[in-house]
Structure 1
Amino acid sequence: MHARYEIQRSDTLGRHLAAAKDLKPGETIISDEPYVLGPTSDSSLVCYNCYLPLISKFLVCKNCAVAPVCPGEGCPESLSKKCHNSTECELFRDLKLTKGVGPMTMVQNVGSLLALRAILKKETDPKAWEEFMKLETHLEERKKSNIWEYYENTVKFITSLGVLDNTQDEYIVQKVCGAIDVNSFEVRGPPIPALGYSQPLRGVYLKASLLTHDCVGNTHVSINDNNVLVCHASMDIKKGEVIYYNYTDPLKGTSLRQHHLLVGKYFKCNCDRCKDCTELGTNISSVICTECKTGYVSKSSDQQWTCHDCKKQFDHSNIEHKVQCCSDKFDVINKKNEKELEEYIRNVSKILAPNHYLLLEATQHLAGVLRDTINREPHPTKKLMRRKLQLCQELLPILEKLCPGISRTKAITLYEIHATMVQLAKKLFDSREITGTGYMDKLLNAEKYLKRALEMLFIEPGNSPEGELCAKALEEYRALKVTMNNVLDGIHAEGKTYMTTSKSE
């Protein structure tokens, strides 16, 4: 029993985590060191010691003369966690002498490094290895798929090293690969200084791997500077309730989420959102009815879609073709071009429901383009600001439903709403389109959005983009307070008393 969670078992969920006490939003549930961390199976070459990308050249470890490592002065001192430890180094040195393993062998098999390091834990940390081998592998399902053949190179490479000579299980390497695929979390690799480029990594976390999936989770997961996974409650969780994490993109439709889970996790989700054809009333996968012109058509069975208003039924292939055409069009437009994005939104809005996931994605891209334009131009127009504000405010209600409580995307959206509100209010005040009182009302409204964003961003790791945004938002909050005090002083200097007329969100 842990203070905040306990491991339970059920026929439907298997081993899973449940709340051992009432949990509040932002409360830490799990802090988990990686069992193993390493490059993905299709990774480019990285340093075996610190995982920095090795773009043009590398050295080899001076002790084992096998492992590729950073050239020049070696790994940056700021990257304190070294992965090529003394035990592995000794093994590689022995393999060089007994098996003829050299640096190019490791270069060619960098995609197998994570599986190798997981297997080496069998000897160095047998207790953790035992827990790792309890993880779900979906071995039988994998045998019937292309992934089995894909990992045959990893099987041959690790078997050739002789580290499994005393193991009777002929499928041990495939089981390890399965456990990694099904249970790992994506981790940001260290960026190359000045370039910012990094190679994504994967980490297996033994506690976090027991988080049960739901397309509307009740947790928020982040991985900090030291690759420690921290799981917070994103909303109130009552004692005894299952602790859920959403392993998919919440702003994708059910068919895409289901496909992602089936391919990567080997199960079909049956959560409340997946069972609801309207996806909790958002109609994020729906299209506009061509019969009544006003109703939304959602998938009612494997082969049929039905309009909620006129009840007209449509063949699945017909609707799928329409959505695919809209998706294909989105793939080829320039997503950094304001006019192309606006045209795309205008055109597909005649086909797709207003909150369709393709429209939401286009909306996010357009909001980003407008943000960059507003920040870049010395005198951005009010029209640009109002359009960006409209886009963010259209996105927010969807996020409230699909990502209730603490949400990374929601925090960024709230921050962007505040930033544009402040910029627009200043422009209106400077052009004397609003009075000091009106200016103060708008600043107070912006402050509400900023406070909500900060409440969510505070739990983000400092080295992450969201952590950096938190630091920026704090500075902007202080600046906003100074501006508000100056506006109040101006109102008082005119002999007036400020009485807020702003409405809560």
Structure 2
Amino acid sequence: MELFNKAKLIEESDKGRYVEATDILKPGDSLFSENSFASIPLENFLYKKDYCFNCCKYQISTEQQTSEQPKSTPGFPFQCKYGCNMWFCSNECADGMVHQLECSFISKFVELSLKHDCDASISLLALRVVMKNKVASEVFEQTVGKLTNQKSIFIQNNKSFLDKYSKLFDQVYLIVKSENSELSSIFNKEEYLEVVCSIFVNSFAGLSNNFNRTPISNGYFYKAALLNHSCEPNTFFSIQNSTLEMRVVKDINKGEQIFDSYVDLLLPTIERQKILLKSKNFVCDCSRCTDITENSRFVSSIHCIFCKDETNYISPKVKYDDKTKILKQVWSCSKLTCQFNKKNNNKNNQEFLNILSDVAKFYDFINNDLLFKEEKKEEGEEQIQPMVEPILNRLVEYETNILSKLHENHHCWLLYHLRLSKLFERFSAVFNSFDYLSQSIQHYKEIARIVECVIKSPSSEIIDSYYHLARVNEKYLLSLINQRNNHIKQLEKQKQRDTTIDIDSLNKDIKNLLKFINTTYKKAYEMALICYGNFKPKTLLLNALVEKSNFSSSN
């Protein structure tokens, strides 16, 4: 069975398993497409109508459904008739044998997952895999059944994680046995825990198509799990419903290893390593992780407190201690002769330690969702003003006292721009403010710049940042057009030319902005062609936006 296009799976005793190109691969080439062995919506979407409980297909809400349409019309959500209350897109998904087997256990797994602090979507996906193995054992054994589950490593490094799911299973089993002793015979604790471990190591998250990179599903895929990880990947995967496609985003030579990424590439090395160690049981040794500047990305870099030259930065090398099982950062200046690099100076310098402490405080503040929660749409200027002023003042203080000491690509700057871009966009609507909208645009521009500097190859992160930059500029464009039209009406009323109003200048600004919007949408579209191909929802939408903005700018 051929697994990949122009690539092959290799297994060696010294190197382990990896995928290697058998021919030259170019950006936009499709490496493979596969359906998951099993998929499930994430915990936040389990009891909602948004995504089918079986295939994770996005569903049209019932509010959009007309009274003439039956509840089971494909594409319109309806609830399970067997009693689990989950939502489905079609009879095929709702009446399948796997769901009939799992249905009576679903509510028990969800309830006890909450009790034992387990992820309900993980526990249910493991249940589904176990049940599907009962009816499709041959497919299981030829695909995901071959994948490593690393259970022994989880027991060694993260036993508390496995204990939670073990207790969950024990309680479900006792309940099922008391209700139906024959039904309990299909449960096997060892099998269930092995599947849980394998899902943690080998599953892939599907993202929404709304340009916000919202995780919506978890899928158990075989081919995708065969690719090794790198923080400098040469492929990109996307998931539509329960189908994953892996596409090439960099030139790959014949004989070169093909890599995917298992983590958010916008995160600093220390955070990526923590995630990989906790969920995948390994520490990455790619070129980005082993370089203190992350291959000139400077995501964690701080202006050197000793060097007068502002081009020198203190950056961390992340090391893993095999004995203590702890990741630590060893900081050094890019200038080898810098005083900071002298023995123990980086450990004892109070100014440097204060900066690290301030950065930690900033992370706590900027990640506080309660502070930055979006206000209700009906709330106006009087309700919002008292709430936002302290937040904005605090952010200005952080920018002056902390962020100014960091490299412009530092992860703190990205979080700062993400928060303020949304805040100012929101304020522009509430206060009908041209200035707030302008500030929002500047933050969106910085987001696009940082994301492109950090990712460095076509990705959903860059596509989404370009989309939002163009989108918010469209709002600005409408404001300019309204401003121009109001001036024209004013001049018509006065029947004379007001020299303080330059209509020609406004028309020029409008034309230039249209050109910028079109160019930005085009950048996103060209990357979408590489990452998703021609006919995926985001590609089609971006193509329509390119044509729309190009048509407008030519008239």
TM-score by length of 1: 0.75
| Residue number in structure 1 paired with 2:167 | 153
Shift of the alpha carbon at 1:7?
1.2
**After superposition, what is the alpha-carbon deviation per residue over 1:396-455, rounded to whole angstroms, capped at 9, x for unaligned?**
343334323321121122233344556657839945473766765554444332211112
Structure 2 unpaired stretches of 5+ = 60-77, 114-119, 319-327, 375-387, 485-501
Are 2:546 and 1:477 aligned?
Answer: yes
Q: Is the 8 A contact 1:45 1:107 kept in 2?
A: no
Farther off after superposition, 27-36 or 266-275: 27-36
Amino acid at match of 2:537: G
**After superposition, what is the alpha-carbon deviation per residue over 1:108-150, rounded to whole angstroms, capped at 9, x for unaligned?**
4574332222123333222322232321222222112211211
- Equivalent residue for 1:202, pick from 198, 210, 218: 218
Label 1:204 to 1:274 Cα distance change in 2 as closer, same or farther (>3 A).
same
**Other structure's SS at 1:334 match:** coil
Amino acid at match of 1:152: S
| Residue number in structure 1 paired with 2:194 | 175
**After superposition, what is the alpha-carbon deviation per residue over 1:142-197, rounded to whole angstroms, capped at 9, x for unaligned?**
11221121121344346967789699x97433221111111111246999xxxxxx
| Residue number in structure 2 paired with 1:467 | 537
| Residue number in structure 1 paired with 2:28 | 26
Are 2:365 and 1:353 aligned?
Answer: no
Are 2:527 and 1:456 aligned?
Answer: yes
Label 1:133 to 1:109 Cα distance change in 2 as closer, same or farther (>3 A).
farther
**Other structure's SS at 1:279 match:** coil
Farther off after superposition, 352-361 or 126-135: 126-135
- d(CA) in 2 for partners of 1:242, 1:162: 49
Amino acid at match of 2:197: G
Q: Is the 8 A contact 1:39 1:199 kept in 2?
A: no
Farther off after superposition, 205-214 or 330-339: 330-339
- Equivalent residue for 2:203, pick from 175, 179, 184: 184
- d(CA) in 2 for partners of 1:262, 1:400: 26
Are 2:357 and 1:321 aligned?
Answer: yes
| Residue number in structure 1 paired with 2:144 | 132
Structure 1 unpaired stretches of 5+ = 94-100, 192-197, 487-505
Shift of the alpha carbon at 1:79?
4.3
Label 1:433 to 1:472 Cα distance change in 2 as closer, same or farther (>3 A).
farther
Label 1:437 to 1:13 Cα distance change in 2 as closer, same or farther (>3 A).
farther
**Other structure's SS at 1:3 match:** coil
Amino acid at match of 2:24: D
Label 1:291 to 1:269 Cα distance change in 2 as closer, same or farther (>3 A).
same
Shift of the alpha carbon at 1:254?
0.6
Shift of the alpha carbon at 1:253?
0.7
- d(CA) in 2 for partners of 1:416, 1:102: 42
| Residue number in structure 1 paired with 2:340 | 312
**After superposition, what is the alpha-carbon deviation per residue over 1:59-113, rounded to whole angstroms, capped at 9, x for unaligned?**
8744xxxx5135xxxx55x446515523653x579xxxxxxx7786455457433
Label 1:121 to 1:321 Cα distance change in 2 as closer, same or farther (>3 A).
same
| Residue number in structure 2 paired with 1:242 | 257
**Other structure's SS at 1:350 match:** helix
Q: Is the 8 A contact 2:150 2:197 kept in 1?
A: yes
| Residue number in structure 2 paired with 1:491 | none
- d(CA) in 2 for partners of 1:252, 1:360: 10
- Equivalent residue for 1:284, pick from 277, 280, 299: 299
**Other structure's SS at 1:50 match:** coil
Q: Is the 8 A contact 2:102 2:131 kept in 1?
A: no
Q: Is the 8 A contact 2:206 2:219 kept in 1?
A: yes
Amino acid at match of 1:115: A
- d(CA) in 2 for partners of 1:92, 1:350: 55
Amino acid at match of 2:364: D
- Equivalent residue for 1:217, pick from 224, 228, 233: 233
**After superposition, what is the alpha-carbon deviation per residue over 1:280-329, rounded to whole angstroms, capped at 9, x for unaligned?**
21211112333346342112475642222434141299364343222223
Residues 224-303 of structure 1 aligned to structure 2 (within 5 Å) = 224=240, 226-292=241-307, 294=310, 295-300=312-317, 302=328
Q: Is the 8 A contact 1:280 1:401 kept in 2?
A: no
Label 1:312 to 1:174 Cα distance change in 2 as closer, same or farther (>3 A).
same
Label 1:308 to 1:107 Cα distance change in 2 as closer, same or farther (>3 A).
closer
Q: Is the 8 A contact 1:17 1:243 kept in 2?
A: yes
How many pairs align?
452
Are 2:374 and 1:330 aligned?
Answer: no
Shift of the alpha carbon at 1:6?
1.6
- d(CA) in 2 for partners of 1:246, 1:204: 16
TM-score by length of 2: 0.69
Q: Is the 8 A contact 2:517 2:549 kept in 1?
A: no
Residues 485-496 of structure 1 aligned to structure 2 (within 5 Å) = 485-486=554-555
Are 2:157 and 1:113 aligned?
Answer: no
Label 1:268 to 1:424 Cα distance change in 2 as closer, same or farther (>3 A).
same
Label 1:155 to 1:387 Cα distance change in 2 as closer, same or farther (>3 A).
same
Q: Is the 8 A contact 2:149 2:197 kept in 1?
A: yes
Label 1:104 to 1:182 Cα distance change in 2 as closer, same or farther (>3 A).
closer
Considering fraction of residues, name the structure with more helix: 2
**Other structure's SS at 1:220 match:** strand
> Alignment identity in percent?
23
Amino acid at match of 1:344: Y
**Other structure's SS at 1:240 match:** coil
Shift of the alpha carbon at 1:206?
0.8
| Residue number in structure 2 paired with 1:141 | 153
Amino acid at match of 1:334: L
Farther off after superposition, 327-336 or 265-274: 327-336
Q: Is the 8 A contact 1:218 1:233 kept in 2?
A: yes
- d(CA) in 2 for partners of 1:88, 1:423: 46
Q: Is the 8 A contact 2:9 2:20 kept in 1?
A: yes
- d(CA) in 2 for partners of 1:104, 1:389: 46
Label 1:425 to 1:103 Cα distance change in 2 as closer, same or farther (>3 A).
closer
Amino acid at match of 1:142: F
Residues 18-97 of structure 1 aligned to structure 2 (within 5 Å) = 18-38=20-40, 50=53, 61-62=81-82, 68-70=84-86, 75=87, 78-79=89-90, 82=93, 85-86=96-97, 89=100, 91=101
Label 1:162 to 1:186 Cα distance change in 2 as closer, same or farther (>3 A).
farther
Amino acid at match of 1:477: V
RMSD: 4.2
Q: Is the 8 A contact 1:50 1:81 kept in 2?
A: no
Q: Is the 8 A contact 2:249 2:457 kept in 1?
A: yes
